[in-house]
């Protein structure tokens, strides 16, 4: 272990930090003028050559010819034998990236025997990196400043809470999600839809927003940010208060996450 801006950095975390930095710099500086865009699950679910190239870069750097497993958003799934699996969202916020909006990032989580032990979310256009090692706290780096330890916010009253959320890519899902939003927006301070689930979750971890809920995220969206939230003293859960699920993910401090989970379950 070595120290990083005051936080202990385990070896998997060191590898994750470096790989996320390389993928992030690649996405920031090598973006072609015009991007080749394809559709995935629906016409609005975009994937670009940069999503794929970023995943290839991460897999090559983190796994190479080694024995680690990998689960990547763009199809990279490989069973390993080492007990370590890398869970990757090579470009979270693809639509923002496409439109040159700055809220996009690279998410890298290292699981050891099924448990996330190291996590990095890097948002190059914002100049921010969040990272955590299990038991080592959650940290945020702004530009060249030293890492500072972060904690979830303390607001427990939904009426005074700013809540981040997102929508899926399927039109029918979105209509249902907006219906649900209708019963939430009048109860909370306000809602933000920034466009990258991993960054929304990291904003919960560092207290930028108070809470988060979203239907239809995937393990790669929340694996890294989930550990960052837990290490920041927060909770990430499903509608029933158990582990987060694809159908529903909720996050916040303990009390707010519980209130939010109850609210989204109605």
- Determine contact, residues 111/84, Cβ cutoff 8 Å: yes
Count the alpha carbons within 13 Å of 253 in the hemisphere toward its beta carbon.
Answer: 18
Least separation in angstroms between residue 3's CB and ligand IPD is 32
Least separation in angstroms between residue 81's CB and ligand IPD is 28
Considering beta carbons, is residue 44 or 156 the nearer one to ligand IPD?
Answer: 44
Least separation in angstroms between residue 197's CB and ligand IPD is 3
- The neighbouring-strand residues paired with 235 are 252
The two three-digit tokens of residue 220, written as one number: 């790669």
Closest residue to bound ligand IPD by CB: 166
Which positions touch ligand IPD (CB under 6 A)? 73, 89, 92-94, 166-168, 195-197, 214, 216-217, 221
Considering beta carbons, is residue 195 or 252 the nearer one to ligand IPD?
Answer: 195
Considering beta carbons, is residue 10 or 177 the nearer one to ligand IPD?
Answer: 177
Considering beta carbons, is residue 9 or 71 the nearer one to ligand IPD?
Answer: 71
Q: Scanning the structure block, which residue is given the tokens 């999503």?
A: 51
Considering beta carbons, is residue 9 or 91 the nearer one to ligand IPD?
Answer: 91
Least separation in angstroms between residue 92's CB and ligand IPD is 4
Considering beta carbons, is residue 74 or 155 the nearer one to ligand IPD?
Answer: 74
Least separation in angstroms between residue 194's CB and ligand IPD is 7
d(CA 138, CA 147): 10
Least separation in angstroms between residue 124's CB and ligand IPD is 15
């Amino acid at each position: 272990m070595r120290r990083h801006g005051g936080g202990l950095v385990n070896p998997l975390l060191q590898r994750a930090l470096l790989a996320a930095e390389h993928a992030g710099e690649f996405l920031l500086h090598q973006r072609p003028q015009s991007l080749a865009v394809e559709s995935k699950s629906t016409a609005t679910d975009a994937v670009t050559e940069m999503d794929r190239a970023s995943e290839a870069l991460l897999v090559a750097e983190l796994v190479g010819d080694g024995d680690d497993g990998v689960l990547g958003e763009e199809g990279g799934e490989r069973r390993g034998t080492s007990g370590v699996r890398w869970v990757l969202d090579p470009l979270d916020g693809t639509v923002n990236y496409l439109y040159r909006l700055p809220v996009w990032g690279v998410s890298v989580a290292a699981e050891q025997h099924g448990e996330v032990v190291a996590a990095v979310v890097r948002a190059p256009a914002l100049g921010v990196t969040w990272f955590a090692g299990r038991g080592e706290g959650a940290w945020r780096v702004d530009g060249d400043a030293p890492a500072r330890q972060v904690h979830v916010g303390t607001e427990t009253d939904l009426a005074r809470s700013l809540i981040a959320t997102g929508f899926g890519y399927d039109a029918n899902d979105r209509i249902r999600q907006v219906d649900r939003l209708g019963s939430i927006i009048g109860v909370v301070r306000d809602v933000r839809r920034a466009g990258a689930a991993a960054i929304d979750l990291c904003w919960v971890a560092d207290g930028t927003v108070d809470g988060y809920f979203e239907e239809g995220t995937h393990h790669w969206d929340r694996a890294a940010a989930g550990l960052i939230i837990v290490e920041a003293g927060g909770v990430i859960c499903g509608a029933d208060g158990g582990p987060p699920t694809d159908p529903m993910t909720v996050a916040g401090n303990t009390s707010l996450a519980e209130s939010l989970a109850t609210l989204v379950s109605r």
